[in-house]
Amino acid sequence: MEFPVYLDHNATTPMDPRVLEVMLPYFTSKFGNAASRNHAFGWIAEEGVDYAREQVAALIGCSDKEIIFTSGATEADNLGIKGVYEMYQEKGNHIITLNTEHKAVLDTCKHLEKLGARVTYLPVGEDGLVDLAELEAAMTPQTILVTVMYGNNETGVIQPVKEIADIAHKHGALMMSDATQAVGKIPVNVDTDGIDLMAFTAHKMYGPKGVGALYVRRKYPRVKITSQMDGGGHERGMRSGTLNVPGIAGFGKACELCRLEMQEEAGRLKALRDKLEHAFTAIADCKVNGHTERRLPHVSNVSFRHVEGEGLMMSMKDLAVSSGSACTSASLEPSYVLKGMGLTDDLAHSSIRFGLGRFTTEEEIDFAIASTQKAVAQLRSLSPQWEMFKDGTDHTLTTI
């Protein structure tokens, strides 16, 4: 076992060596610009991009013509939401999303609000799921876009994407999904799920950082977006800029590996995740956050009451995990995702996210269990609140 043990795969994943192998020639001998039409250097690079585009499309069940390569999911979220808002302005200015979305979606919506958009941020229930009746009630004739994430990055909770898409379509709106955490981990198919636009990224699925994609439906309906980057007209005019050929080739390989291996991998990781949770729930007063069934197989978000999450992480130096969201953990604000699910500040602060991955071993999970149990016991033994809880005199206890 190597230390620290990495259990933060929702923040990023290590690259699969098979992906690196595919990428290497595109840095050296196959260095051409995929847009160079006049010589073999360009053609070879373009061939690599075309092949990768097919590998990416095959994973999500779309045509290669519907894939727009970007620098990652943040850019894809921006391009999809801003691109639809600008393109469909004549139809309306209303966007619906969830208050537990990733910042790449929430901050893009906030930006559009300053430009005249009306945005509804739907709440979620204690289980992290959207209420479909509330969504239906929020739809208006001006609603142009419903953007709801597939699997949540903090809890792994999977939204009812198909039902959400049906409601959006019934009211003439488009359905977009940030599927960054779901693609490559569970089956995602844009046709059966009814998705019109979808953002995802290579580095969360054992590919390289700095490359991702926006899926844009071309038929039933034909979705149009305005570009957010002007220039050479790459990616069918929707995203200018010289293509990141090594990154794209790696992204393609990463997608192919996920398509072939995800079913087995999901089963293995779910068993390890369940072992972890089973051990934790044996610790008194500990709670798994989010719907326990409708959840990505490799994620567990757990609150250890009377223990401060940051402190817990500090006392588990050999374990790389995350408290709250990796993107906001620079601030000590409690996670807005957990608070959005009705957790108190205390409970949100006491939460840890365990994210398992392709190279996680059972030995590592056993180590994680032992070090967490030890650290929780140690911190609780120092906590006056825990003493009061055991004596039955803690009145801050609220069940949620």
Ligand X SMILES: *Cc1c(COP(=O)(O)O)cnc(C)c1O
Q: How far is the CB of 20 from ligand X (least distance, A)?
A: 18
Q: CB neighbours of 292 closer than 8 A, spacing ≥ 6? A: none
Least distance to ligand X, CB of residue 179, Å: 8
Residue 122 to residue 340: CA distance in whole angstroms: 10
User: Which SS3 state, helix, strand or coil, does residue 67 take?
Assistant: strand
Distance CA 191, CA 374 (A): 47
If the CB atoms of residues 100 and 372 are measured against ligand X, the closer one turns out to be 100
- Alpha carbon distance 76, 195 (integer Å): 14
72 contacts ligand X (rule: CB under 6 A)? yes
Cβ nearer to ligand X, comparing 22 with 202: 202
How many residues of this chain interact with ligand X, rule: CB under 6 A? 13
Q: Which among 53-61, 70-78, 131-139, 216-224 is the span making contact with ligand X, rule CB under 6 A?
A: 70-78
Q: Measured from the CB atom, is 74 or 159 closer to ligand X? A: 74
Positions 175 through 194 that interact with ligand X (CB under 6 A): 178, 180-181
* Cα end-to-end distance, the chain, whole Å: 38
Nearest distance, CB of residue 352 and ligand X, angstroms: 17
Distance in angstroms (rounded) separating the CA atoms of residues 147 and 176: 5
Binding status of residue 104 toward ligand X by CB under 6 A: yes
Q: Closer to ligand X by CB, 201 or 323: give it.
A: 201
Between CA 155 and CA 277 the distance in angstroms is 13
What does the per-residue mask of binding to ligand X show for 134-153, with x meaning CB under 6 A? ---------------x---x
With CB under 6 A as the contact rule, the residue among 7, 73, 145, 146 that binds ligand X is: 73
Q: Which residues, other chains included, contact 79 with Cβ-Cβ below 8 Å and sequence gap of 6+?
A: 68, 70, 214, 225, 227, 228, 238, 239
Residue 9, interface with ligand X (CB under 6 A)? no
Which region among 41-49, 67-75, 258-266, 312-320 touches ligand X (by CB under 6 A)?
67-75
Asked if residue 262 binds ligand X (CB under 6 A), the reply is: no
Of 62, 258, 286, 327, the active-site residue reads: 327
| CA–CA dist 80, 227 (Å, integer) | 9
157 phi and psi, to 5 degrees? -60, 130
Q: How many CB atoms lie within 10 A of CB 18?
A: 13
Give catalytic status of residue 109 as yes or no: no
Closest residue to ligand X, based on beta-carbon distance: 72
Helix (H, G, I), strand (E, B) or coil at 90: coil
- For residues 118 and 93, give the distance between their C-alpha atoms in angstroms, rounded to a whole number: 6
| Measured distance CA(122)–CA(138) in Å, rounded | 8
Note whether 156 and 296 are within 8 A (CB).
Answer: yes
Identify which of 129, 262, 127 has the alpha carbon closest to the alpha carbon of residue 188: 262
Give the shortest CB-79-to-ligand X separation in angstroms.
Answer: 12
CB of 383 to ligand X, least distance (A): 32
Query: Looking only at residues 360 through 399 of this chain, which bind ligand X when binding is defined by CB under 6 A?
Result: none
Minimum separation from the CB atom of position 199 to ligand X (A): 7
Q: Which is nearer to ligand X, 46 or 101 (CB)?
A: 101
Residue type (1 letter), 145: L
Contact map string, positions 159 to 178, toward ligand X, x by CB under 6 A: -------------------x
- Rounded to whole angstroms, how far apart are CA atoms 238 and 216? 10
Closer residue to ligand X, CB minimum distance, 337 or 375: 337
Residues of span 197-216 touching ligand X by CB under 6 A: 201, 204, 212
Q: Does 120 bind ligand X (CB under 6 A)?
A: no
**Which of 19, 22, 62, 74 forms a contact with ligand X (CB under 6 A)?**
74
Q: Is residue 81 helix, strand or coil? A: helix
* Chain residues 211-240 in contact with ligand X, contact rule CB under 6 A: 212
Stretch binding ligand X (CB under 6 A), from 45-53, 68-76, 160-168, 307-315: 68-76
Q: Given the complex with ligand X, which of 69 and 88 has the nearer CB atom?
A: 69
**How many residues appear in the chain?**
400
> CB within 8 A of 153, min separation 6: which ones?
10, 102, 180, 181, 325, 337
Question: Is the bond preceding residue 297 a cis peptide, omega within 30 degrees?
Answer: no
102 touches ligand X (CB under 6 A) = yes
Residues designated catalytic: 327
Binding residues vs ligand X (CB under 6 A): 72-74, 102, 104, 149, 153, 178, 180-181, 201, 204, 212
